[in-house]
Structure 1
Amino acid sequence: MGIFDWKHWLIILIVVVLVFGTKRLKTLGSDVGEAIKGFRKAVNTEDGEHKPAPAEPQAGDTLNKPQTLEGQAQKVDAPLRKD
């Protein structure tokens, strides 16, 4: 006999019916069904739509512009002198 025996589920069902009533439970079930259908429809339409292309950077836009350092690295072959 577990914590969720069939007797427990029966008691929970009776309490829910007494608190909410059968008419309200029917409308609640249909409302939840419509909400799930609407959610599925919204998810499917989002997948089918094309994402907008990113905006082209403008001349004064430095956020998207790659930055480089001016100059060139030089190789040093001679060891450092200690004085």
Structure 2
Amino acid sequence: MGFSTTHLIIFLVIIIVIFGTKKLRNIGSDLGGAVKGFKDGMKDGTDKTADAPAAPTQQVGSASATAKETIDVEAKTKA
């Protein structure tokens, strides 16, 4: 049991009568803008990961500071 062409035409006429053409045009443009924004966001997200370096770099001066703050969990559990 599927929809025929006449069912779809009747459905579209009812939708146009309820909402009007101006409101449907606004809904269509808002939906198109949302899809475009989503696509741009997805494209920007992939560009940022491709430009990022593979390994993080560390400054020489901050290496000693981070070494003091790190905790060796395996050494604590072995003792």
The TM tier, using the shorter chain, reads 0.5 to 0.7
- Aligned AA (1:30): S
> Which runs of structure 1 show a deviation greater than 3 angstroms over 4 or more consecutive aligned residues?
50-53, 58-62
Paired residue for 1:45? 44
Q: Give the Cα separation in 2 of the matches to 1:27 and 1:12.
A: 19
Consecutive unaligned residues in structure 2, runs of 5 or more:
57-62
Please, what TM-score do these two structures have when normalized by structure 2?
Answer: 0.64
Aligned-residue sequence identity (percent) comes to 28
Paired residue for 1:9? 8
Please, what TM-score do these two structures have when normalized by structure 1?
Answer: 0.62
Aligned residues: 67
Q: Give the Cα separation in 1 of the matches to 2:73 and 2:9.
A: 67
Q: Give the Cα separation in 1 of the matches to 2:2 and 2:14.
A: 17
Structure whose residues are more often helix by fraction: 2
Q: Which has the larger radius of gyration?
A: 1
